[in-house]
A and B are shown apart, each in its own frame.
Chain A
Amino acid sequence: MSPQRSATASEVSGGDAGGRLVRPFALTGGRTRPRNEFTLITVVSAVDPPPARRGRQQPEHARILRMCGKPIAVAELAALLDLPMSVVAIMLCDLLEAGRITVHPPRVVSPSQDIHLLQKVRDGLGRL
């Protein structure tokens, strides 16, 4: 792994040119990326307390941070913000790079190994 690649998200956010793209912090316009970090059911949570170096922020970023004080799925964020998923994903990328959120990816389900998980879902549905 190259040193640039191993830079933490918050290091990269400071304008560090270290190998990854550093993008303008605008809500729209000139966007490059994001990777597939954020699916509809990826859960994001605000980091508390926020890191010392917060990076620059748009009001929309602050709004998102308020909304993910408790863990929330990206699809729900997008719906509540009334913004397209892809726009929300880009703003979440900003926040991730600034070290302000953590990302909890969806449960990867391999049915042959996940009877336990399926059973939990089944029991939960049974209670409805």
Chain B
Amino acid sequence: MAGSDHTAQRVAEAPDTVKILIAGGFGVGKTTMVGSVSEIIPLRTEERLTSAGLGVDDLDGIEDKNATTVALDFGRITISQELVLYLFGTPGQQRFWFMWNDLAVGALGAVVLVDVRRPKSSFAAIDFFERRNIPFVIGVNGFHGEHPYSPEEIREALALPEGTQVLLCDARERKSCRDVLIALIDQLIASAADNRA
């Protein structure tokens, strides 16, 4: 269906796009992770709070412009000429969470990053994806490359649903971040295969 029809006017062939969200509390390393795997330096786009859904009618009447925008960081991984993966770092602060609803629409899934030193800061993110049945994996970002806790201990501390993958990672390392993304995709492939069977 997509991009294959030929019209009178010449239009460059557009790739299909998919997205994965990188979520977690403030300062857990979301932007760092996006930057580690992205082929472009993370770009930043702003959204005004009243129009986060891009479907809101009125951009006027906003008094304090500074207080009403929220920044989104994102990166890109070109899979092939026909397929591009975008990674969106979700805004960390709780008050911006309504934006996540829009961001989550159509997402393949999410990586919830956890800072080992303060795992509770990612509770709310886990809750968000769990409630909406959006597939996710946990990436435990060992600041300073240290992982004092095992995946099992993290799983317990976060009261994760059974079967949730917990991966120890380093948000600064490309390969490490890539492996977390692959774990998410493998999980999606496995459940897709299950649904078929």
Contacts and interface: CB of A to CB of B under 8 A. Distances in A.
Interface residues of A, number: 61
Interface string A64-102: 000001110101101110011111011000000000001
Given A86-B48, A121-B18, A31 B55 contact: no
B193 interface: yes
Interface residues of B, number: 61
A29 interface: yes
A75 B45 contact: yes
A82 B193 CA distance: 42
Given A79-B45, A122-B182, A128-B178, A111 B106 contact: no
A2 interface: no
B54 A102 contact: no
A90 B44 CA distance: 19
Interface of A: 28-36, 38-49, 51, 69-71, 73, 75-76, 78-80, 83-87, 89-90, 102, 104-109, 111-115, 117-126, 128
Given A75-B88, A86-B54, A125-B185, 5 more contacts: A31-B60, A39-B54, A45-B12, A107-B18, A121-B185
User: 9 closest Cβ contacts across the A-B interface?
Assistant: A124-B79, A79-B43, A104-B14, A86-B51, A112-B195, A71-B14, A41-B17, A107-B16, A78-B45
